């Protein structure tokens, strides 16, 4: 039976639809807004969460990345960011961006700033400055094993630039390529960096140099996270205030989600105001493990 309520949302690639669908013939699950080829509706199965889809044996789509567990509004802003990143060699007008997002310039500007704490123009400026050192730079990466799970760590000449967790090594490398599209990536020896990640998981403290890249607001949030003592947490409201804009609560949460350097920038210490875990880029089980480790 075809779901007459949810199938049309897939046909129209609805960005606001709050469910996931899987395709039996491919074994992949997606968001309704996924740009991939439309499946045969008879091969589609629906799920209320990405966790349910994975529990049923489906793997996350590499195009729409549904495992990120972002809310629809955040997902739209992420799509806008990727459009800007793909066209970083030219200036994108607000009118062109509005047409891409199917939003009025006013609403796009307001929504983008609410999520990221900066305007689209400021985001483009950050992209251009990021491109300058990256075309010829080399980033060395390698895998490591830790109590929370397997992961990847990457270093540049300036320090650790990425730490990520995941069972699928190919997916981890693909993630790294997407995060540093202008750099030359090479596998190599990352023993010291991996040891620092393990030491930080064990003690909650880190002194290793970091290569942190992001917008000015993101840097403020990440610095606020690094200032939290091990064993303590902060709400997204407190992080926004520490970053100098108490009304930018949603942007503070998005900054946590955009963090590339797990553990060393401890975004796992950010919680909802009611004490709930909120989200975590690398999965709530790893977040629980890190918090439990620091409290023991």
| The one catalytic residue among 34, 64, 256, 267 | 267
Q: How far apart are CA 98 and CA 269, in angstroms?
A: 35
| The one catalytic residue among 30, 34, 61, 256 | 30
Q: How far apart are CA 72 and CA 70, in angstroms?
A: 6
Structure token pair of residue 227: 């200032």
Catalytic (active site) residue 30: yes
Query: Across the chain, where does the E strand assignment appear?
Result: 20-23, 28-30, 44-47, 59-60, 138-144, 151-156, 159-165, 184-187, 234-235, 270-271
Structure token pair of residue 106: 């006013």
Catalytic (active site) residue 161: no
Q: How far apart are CA 5 and CA 241, in angstroms?
A: 42
Q: How far apart are CA 127 and CA 121, in angstroms?
A: 10
Compute, in degrees rounded to 10, the torsion defined by CA atoms 76, 81, 83, 89: 170
Beta bridge partners of 160: 155, 210
DSSP-derived letter for residue 210 is B
Determine the Cα angle at 141 with ends 86 and 84, to 5°. Answer: 10
The residues annotated with a catalytic role in the active site are 30, 267
């Amino acid at each position: 039976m075809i779901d007459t309520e949810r199938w049309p949302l897939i046909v129209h690639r609805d960005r606001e639809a709050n469910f996931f669908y899987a395709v039996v013939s491919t074994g992949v699950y997606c968001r309704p807004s996924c740009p991939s080829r439309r499946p045969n509706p008879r091969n589609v199965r629906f799920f209320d969460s990405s966790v349910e889809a994975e529990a049923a044996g489906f793997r996350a789509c590499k195009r729409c990345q549904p495992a990120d567990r972002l809310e629809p509004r955040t997902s739209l802003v992420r799509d806008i960011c990727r459009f800007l990143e793909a066209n970083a060699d030219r200036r994108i007008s607000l009118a062109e961006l509005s047409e891409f997002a199917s939003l009025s310039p006013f609403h796009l500007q307001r929504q983008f700033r609410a999520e990221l704490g900066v305007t689209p123009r400021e985001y483009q400026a950050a992209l251009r400055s990021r491109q300058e050192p990256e075309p010829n730079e080399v980033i060395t990466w390698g895998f490591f094993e830790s109590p929370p799970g397997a992961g990847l760590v990457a270093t540049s000449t300036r320090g650790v630039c990425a730490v990520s967790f995941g069972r699928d090594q190919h997916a981890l490398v693909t993630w790294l390529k997407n995060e540093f599209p202008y750099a030359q990536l090479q596998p190599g020896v990352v023993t010291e960096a991996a040891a620092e990640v393990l030491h930080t998981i064990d003690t909650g403290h880190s002194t290793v140099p970091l290569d942190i890249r992001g917008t000015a607001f993101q840097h403020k949030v990440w610095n606020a996270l690094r200032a939290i003592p091990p064993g303590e947490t902060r709400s997204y409201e407190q992080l926004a205030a520490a970053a100098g804009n108490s009304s930018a609560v949603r942007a503070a949460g998005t900054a946590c989600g955009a963090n590339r350097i797990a553990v060393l920038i401890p975004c796992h210490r950010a919680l909802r105001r009611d004490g709930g875990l909120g989200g975590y880029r690398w999965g709530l089980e790893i977040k629980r493990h890190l918090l439990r480790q620091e409290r023991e």
